[in-house]
A = this chain, B = another copy of it.
């Protein structure tokens, strides 16, 4: 059987080296490319058509979720195995909804990563870390607060809030009315369950939304 072909995407050379070393210890996996940015990752996947893309969420240019989205819409057959330092709910939800085959956190034991790569390569879906699984339980278990998901526009506004912008600034930046920004603020507060822009910003930073 031919080996599983893997592309690594992570902005830290050390992390890439670590994973590459890890995967190449086993005979049935071959690392066929490394990318340090989202753009590179997309290009590489197109060029070398790997079986699995090990995709870090914290890339400098494009967000991991966007990379996944682009691959999904381009009907790429690559299996995406997301890798993140954080177990933040928003990312996980988004990723899995975008059809990622799995989601691992970096605290994971090295052997688990090998297992996961092998698993998704052979078609397993929903390969997630134990801690992620625990978190997903809470979503299913009653507190399925639909509101958690911000719209694209709301996320954009929130990003500016975190950047310390005033409603006026944000309105100018987005080219829409300040009144509309106020509307978004209200929606954001309601969805995040907070009562002020400061709390919203703190929430966003803590959850690693940006």
Residues of A bordering B, CB below 8 Å: 11-19, 21-22, 85, 106-110, 113, 161-162, 164, 166, 194-199, 201-202, 205-206
Contacts and interface: CB of A to CB of B under 8 A. Distances in A.
Nearest to A21: B21
Contact of A110 (B14, B109, B199): B14
Given A13-B107, A14-B113, A164-B198, 19 more contacts: A11-B107, A12-B106, A12-B107, A13-B106, A14-B18, A14-B110, A15-B15, A15-B106, A17-B18, A17-B21, A18-B19, A18-B21, A21-B21, A85-B85, A161-B198, A162-B202, A164-B196, A197-B198, A205-B205
Contacts of A161: 198
Closest 9 CB pairs of A and B: A18-B18, A164-B199, A12-B106, A205-B205, A21-B21, A17-B18, A14-B18, A198-B201, A164-B198
Nearest to A197: B198
